[in-house]
Structure 1
């Protein structure tokens, strides 16, 4: 098979920028109802810059995706590894590469398959940890995985949020304090798990990448330089600053003991709320105006907060956006 059978690993893109993408997508080549062509058209219409092919337990079909990539639309190769004790995403695989699905938590073999993906430069993502069906619950230990899909859009109706996502978000949020202390925290991802019409991009992950390439997108996800959006109508800018030093989502801010000014600029969530979360839990909450556009500020210190992240919720309590944390360190205090 020729290289032209598969999409290129790099698109022209916009250089260093925020890119929107959905990394959990199924076509007619596994159990989805849409063709690759239909998925690409709908992804572009949803405002996405990239998607990942993640057919169940199989590689992307040669010739199915390569012609759909463009200068401003990247297609990553991947697989949903559907085991008996949980599903996970292998992102950034080589053309034709397949990860064996025939393993489970009690056989202790998961490490060899995670290593296979990592050797290819890929990313391993724990998928829908609390999915409501047999094998959907994720039973593997998280160490070894690079990210957790805390927001999955498949089992939802009017909006991409439900109790299973709430449980996954709470579990991930509780783990952050200990994981950040050890320097091994796992970023959150959000994906649609598209199988049907109208699902793609709902939700998706927004990443700050140096370029629109497989390597750069995966590096941004791995570093947590990302946040999750219900749709392209929602926009979030999240920063923390101390004495002129500024950090964004997924970055570390050395405060030197100075006060930290945390700011969240939100658009597209009318009469919603913004909540600030630290290692002490939900610590501050503010209302958004009727037009959904506002900048919310909150002050803290590294002594009081090991990290800060935000959740943006609609009036019904459904999440519209959430971010990975900004890590705060007090260098002056050791």
Structure 2
């Protein structure tokens, strides 16, 4: 059934360096209100069979791997059972292309993980060309705070490239994942997708197309649309404005005293405050000549990210 589904696509178990078993993680995922998770242990598929036993009862399990190379990590999502993607190389070896092709041949997607992670091999040195999405929000180092400088840098880098990417007709969506290793981390943050159904092909297609937004927790809900006349496009969509005025609208729940901002190729173009209850609807007007795309950010009272969306493209 088509709808919005919440999921965490960067999860570690005892099969690499996590502290929880797949069964414990599956229980935590259901408790956190997630509809899907991806198994992404480092450089191994040894957890795949165990994870397959946890699927069902409203939880989709996407088979994957965190490919931990010498000069950056990336997520191979949607690979086959027991399939391993090689990791023994760095950016100067020029060997990543065939590995991306391997994932794409199975119908999977490749995600650049935590591009500004502050540890050896964590910083992403590869070009984004060939990757399907960028993990701009990673929760591993945010146990005390939901947002940090590494995520801010990843978001800024991705945001700066959107205008050129939209202009050439192929932009890379943003995703957010917990990178859970410890109990209590799963789902903080996670990605909410508009998919044709709760299946691996449908969820990966939604992630690839950018029909998604990132939530800091299950208590946060965002609706983001752009409307011109009788036509409306949701996040990740393209609105044919036909020269008409565009009304951009965000509806937010779960961010008390928060702030909503709209962003285009000109940077932040509109700000509004949410109520003490965290509810609000924000509108802003523009045109396709004034904005090639619009995306939204929602920050809490401290200025930390609570949610962010992929863009709606205006044509």
TM-score (structure 2 length as normaliser): 0.99
* Secondary structure of 1:257 counterpart: coil
1:325 equivalent to 2:311? Answer yes
1:115 equivalent to 2:101? Answer yes
Q: Which of 80, 84, 100 is the equivalent residue of 1:98?
A: 84
Aligned-partner Cα distance in 2 for 1:49–1:159: 24
| 1:179–1:49 distance in 2 versus 1, CA, 3 Å | same
| 1:62–1:274 distance in 2 versus 1, CA, 3 Å | closer
1:103 offset after TM fit, Å? 1.5
1:62 offset after TM fit, Å? 5.0
CA contact (8 A) 1:60 1:78 kept: no
CA contact (8 A) 1:191 1:203 kept: yes
Q: What CA deviation, in whole Å up to 9, does each residue of 1:70-108 have, x standing for no partner?
A: 141100000000001000000000001000001111111
Q: What CA deviation, in whole Å up to 9, does each residue of 1:30-72 have, x standing for no partner?
A: 0000011110111111110000000100114353112211141
Where does the alignment leave 5 or more consecutive residues of structure 1 unmatched? 1-14, 330-334
Aligned-partner Cα distance in 1 for 2:136–2:129: 16
After TM superposition, the structure 1 = structure 2 runs for residues 79-90 of structure 1, keeping only pairs within 5 Å, are: 79-90=65-76
1:307 offset after TM fit, Å? 0.1
After TM superposition, the structure 1 = structure 2 runs for residues 168-207 of structure 1, keeping only pairs within 5 Å, are: 168-207=154-193
1:184 offset after TM fit, Å? 1.6
1:284 equivalent to 2:236? Answer no
* Secondary structure of 2:137 counterpart: strand
Q: RMSD over aligned Cα, in angstroms?
A: 0.7
CA contact (8 A) 1:192 1:203 kept: yes
Equivalence for 1:8? none
Equivalence for 1:130? 116
CA contact (8 A) 2:48 2:63 kept: no
Report runs of 4+ in structure 1 exceeding 6 Å deviation. none
* Secondary structure of 1:63 counterpart: helix
Q: What CA deviation, in whole Å up to 9, does each residue of 1:150-206 have, x standing for no partner?
A: 000001123321000000000000000000001121000000000001100000000
Aligned-partner Cα distance in 2 for 1:303–1:228: 28
Equivalence for 2:56? 70
CA contact (8 A) 2:49 2:81 kept: no
Query: How many residues are aligned here?
Result: 315
1:252 equivalent to 2:238? Answer yes
1:121 offset after TM fit, Å? 0.5
1:143 equivalent to 2:113? Answer no
After TM superposition, the structure 1 = structure 2 runs for residues 213-224 of structure 1, keeping only pairs within 5 Å, are: 213-224=199-210
CA contact (8 A) 2:41 2:47 kept: no
Equivalence for 2:23? 37
1:244 offset after TM fit, Å? 0.7
Q: What CA deviation, in whole Å up to 9, does each residue of 1:237-275 have, x standing for no partner?
A: 000000110000000000011000110000000000000
Q: Which of 225, 229, 242 is the equivalent residue of 1:243?
A: 229
Where does the alignment leave 5 or more consecutive residues of structure 2 unmatched? none
Aligned-partner Cα distance in 1 for 2:171–2:56: 34
